[in-house]
């Protein structure tokens, strides 16, 4: 089954404790992206990756890091989480060859609470 | 900065009535997508529009993109409880040679009452 998986689904942590949210897709998609969703603000793009070893900033990259060492995986790293990073996070992937007209496939979301 | 303005922010509609959601951009949209989300869950792809004047329908949902490709609307006919949820428009920001950035509108919460 074609899917995007995220782990963990729920996470409670404390300020400053490094964490990683994993994202994996099995569709051989070149493009992957991370979003955060907050009430009243919709989804905002954090980082995206056009291919292995190619990443770029979205609209809200501060406080986050990403890496793309393999095509299928795109982890989101919070080196020193702060309470304002409490949010619902979504990973998505998309086929690059025909970017316009191709929808993104979204993971189920990771709900993060930073105390 | 938020480049996609979505309205209304929320909508309460009686079952059987129609509703319309709008999504407006100050820039040309190269691909406009509509998604539906149940609160706290993942996004479900509804439709994608690319060409100016394009209109697509699926079951009771119709989406249109204006000729200038700066405004889209999502129309639901004879709403049902299954139509309740958050509707989001999203778009590729940038031309085909610099695509990658993607933005969403803030969403419209739809409540369908008996």
**What is the rounded distance in angstroms from the CA atom of residue B36 to the CA atom of residue B109?**
10
DSSP annotation of B99:
B
pLDDT tens, position by position, B24-58: 998 888 788 999 998 778 899 999 998 889 999 99
Which residues in chain B are contacts of A86 at CB distance < 8 A?
none
B contacts of A31 (beta carbons < 8 Å) = 100
Given a cut of 90, whether residue A39 has pLDDT beyond it is: no
d(CA A21, CA A8): 6
Burial of residue B101 (CB within 10 Å: 0-12, 13-18, 19+) is: middle
From chain A, the residues in CB contact with B40 under 8 A are: 88, 109, 111
pLDDT for B95: 58
Comparing A100 with A105, the larger pLDDT belongs to A105
Q: Per-residue pLDDT for A101 more than 80?
A: no
- Stretch B106-110: mean pLDDT, rounded? 94
- Read off the pLDDT band of B1 (50, 70, 90): low
Q: How many CB pairs under 8 A join A and B?
A: 62
pLDDT at A17 (0 to 100) = 96
For β-strands B43-49 and B101-104, DSSP reports them as unpaired
Q: In Å, what is the CA distance from A22 to each residue of A35, A54, A75, B79, B86?
A: 13, 17, 4, 38, 26
């Amino acid at each position: 089954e074609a899917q995007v998986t995220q782990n963990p689904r729920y996470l409670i942590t404390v300020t400053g404790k490094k964490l990683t949210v994993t994202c994996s897709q099995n569709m051989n998609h070149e493009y992957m992206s991370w979003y955060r969703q907050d009430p009243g603000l919709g989804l905002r793009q954090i980082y995206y990756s056009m291919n292995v070893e190619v990443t770029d900033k979205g609209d809200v990259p501060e406080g986050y890091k990403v890496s793309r060492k393999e095509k299928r995986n795109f982890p989101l790293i919070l080196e020193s989480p702060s309470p304002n990073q409490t949010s619902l996070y979504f990973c998505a992937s998309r086929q690059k060859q025909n970017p316009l007209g191709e929808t993104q496939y979204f993971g189920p979301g990771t709900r993060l609470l930073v105390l | 900065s938020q480049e996609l303005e979505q309205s209304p922010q929320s909508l309460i509609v009686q079952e059987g009535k129609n509703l319309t959601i709008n999504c407006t951009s100050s820039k040309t949209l190269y691909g406009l997508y509509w998604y539906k989300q149940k609160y706290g869950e993942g996004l479900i792809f509804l439709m994608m529009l690319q060409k100016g004047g394009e209109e697509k329908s699926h079951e009771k949902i119709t989406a249109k993109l204006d000729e200038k490709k700066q405004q889209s609307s999502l129309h639901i006919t004879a709403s049902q409880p299954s139509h309740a949820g958050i509707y989001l428009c999203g778009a590729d920001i940038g031309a085909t040679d610099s695509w990658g950035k993607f933005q969403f509108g803030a969403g419209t919460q739809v409540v369908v009452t008996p």
